[in-house]
Amino acid sequence: MPSPWARTIAFAVAALVGTATLAIAQTTAPPASSAATAEDGAAQAPHRSALDALMFYQLLIGEMELRSGQAGVAFEVLLDAARRSRDEQLFRRAVDVALQNRVGDQALVATKAWRAALPESLDALRTQLQILVALNRINDVGEPLRALLARTPEAERGGLISSVPRFLQRAGEARAVAGLIEEQLQPYAGAASTKVAARVAIGRGWLAAGDTDKALTLARAAASDDATAAGPALLAMDLMGRQPAAEDVVSAHLRQPSAEPAVRLAYVRVLVQAQRHADAIKQLEIATRLQPELAAPWLTLGALHVELKHPPQADAALLRYVDLVTAAGAGGPLAAGTATATAPAPADKDDDDDQEAATSTDSAADARGAGLVQAWLLLAQSAELRGDFAAAEKYLARVDSPQRALEVQSRRATILARQGRLREARELLQKLPERQPDDARAKLVAEAHLLRELKRWGDSHAVLAAASQRWPDDTELVYEQAMMAEKLDRVDEMERLLRRVIAAKPEHQHAYNALGYSLADRGQRLPEARALIAKALELAPGDPFITDSLGWVEYRLGNRDEALQLLRQAYASRPDTEIAAHLGEVLWASGQHDEARRVWREGRSRDAANEVLRETLARLKPDL
């Protein structure tokens, strides 16, 4: 098995059988310009090969030594031939032999000889850099990187600069790499054609090193240089979790008429990951208005409306997606890319081009199929929210994907359960075949979630407890069991299970949040509750549910103004019914009764059965 550094280097190594012939052919091939035929159909002039007898036998011996297991000897012979012929293909072959033999120092010797023989070769520089990075020789990277930057044509230099942070990300300690990037790119941070790319690249280096202040400063400077450039906005998106002010850079870029749709969709992904679904919907509405022919944004928009329990809006978006994808499959406007890929190949295209075209076609078809399956499942879920079980079943019947069988049957089970046929629903899940190793676990989790949706806390707890016994190291099962223990008012068990999760997985933000919120909701150990929730928010900055928990504990501590600020922030990001219940209560306690009623009405319109909201309204008895 190749070593990690050898796998990192993406060289095409020729097969050993027939390699000598290939090397000889490459060495003796005439330049393309010499291949012209004589006028009037005369035969080609004979070409005198540059390969003399000594060189021929040298290459042959090198390849024979390699096949016989004498890789060191083969390397020396081939490198000597490369030096004598000054042929790039032979230098590359010598490098490949060294890499096959897992001798990085030999590969570096070959690249240095290559550079000495052909000082203008960009391939030699790139190869040397790749090997140095794979070997984590960061102290030796500076000179070849500097040379490569200087010799790359100006029109291509910006792209090279942008690739530097990703290329060097595993070359050594993060701060040392960031310092190297800054040192090497600083000369280009003042040139008009490269300053934006250089500042963004340096910023990415410092982001990887954890210095988000420097990274944000550089993102702002790059955006100031060119507000239409996507690079500063994309860097700012990666900073948003730790530097909320970075979002201003993103917003300013997206206000530019020339902002690329891909940047807006990348922003949507960041917002969804942060659970800021309302903000994501606003951006998707802009995207679908600006480019209504793009299918993917409609699918995401529909999924978010399902999540927020907006069936009419979900149906409209999802059906629009289905129409667009169906048209694309039939050769409509969205199929333009695949139509190009499947056009007859020109006469001079080879089989590899044909294969690439076929692969592109298959990939596009696979993507359409996967998207349609997701759309049918979401449409079924939306129909469930409306109580239209017949429509839900109609959509589920459209799904023809063995890989999604569990999802389909889970939705069918939910439909049965909501019609009072719980026993049938559970049997449906229990009888599903187990084709993959994880299927048994997935079936139990689906059954537990079904029971949870029906508020059968005890039954759900029993299923999860049994699953935890089968997979005792599965922290997600333990966490879900803790949540059911909390519903059953088994507070001690809940805390024991959550602390077990935290011990096994210290980065599990939901466990910290659940324990902190439970303590806060009961008015117990409030300073400890706040510390737990703060830790969760540190692990998942901006998460609206964790922000809601922090607002709730501040309210319990008597910090009403702080609580209101946090709860408003959480509700603006995610207008969830439980967050509405908390925000409404703090508004009510602050004397802002009209706004409290408005927030409660909004929450009730989304989920009138929500327990937290119902308990809040029953206790405070507002006139809604």
Least confident of 229-233, 320-324, 539-543: 539-543
Q: Picking from 22-26, 304-308, 395-399, which range would have the lowest pLDDT averaged per residue? A: 22-26
Q: What is the pLDDT of residue 57?
A: 67
In angstroms, the Cα distances linking 406 to 25, 307, 470, 575 are 56, 20, 20, 30
Find out whether 63 and 74 touch, Cβ atoms under 8 Å.
Answer: yes
Nearest to 519 by CA among 543, 495, 535, 488: 495
Termini Cα distance of the chain: 70
Q: Give the pLDDT confidence of 532-577 residue by residue, as tens digits.
A: 999 999 999 889 999 999 999 999 999 999 999 999 999 988 889 9
What whole-number percentage of the chain has pLDDT above 70? 85
Note whether 560 and 591 are within 8 A (CB): no
Q: At 441, is the pLDDT very low, low, confident or very high (cuts 50, 70, 90)?
A: very high
CA–CA dist 583, 612 (Å, integer): 12
Q: What is the 3-state secondary structure of 164-225?
A: HHHHHCCCCCHHHHHHHHHHHHHHHCCCCCCHHHHHHHHHHHHHHCCCHHHHHHHHHHHHHH
- Please give the pLDDT value at position 102: 86
pLDDT at 460 over 80: yes
Structure tokens at 179: 């310092």
Percentage helix, strand, coil, to 5, in the chain? Answer: 75, 0, 25
pLDDT of residue 264: 96
| pLDDT band of 363, cuts 50, 70, 90 | low
Q: For 489-518, what is each residue's pLDDT tens digit?
A: 999 999 999 999 999 999 999 999 999 999
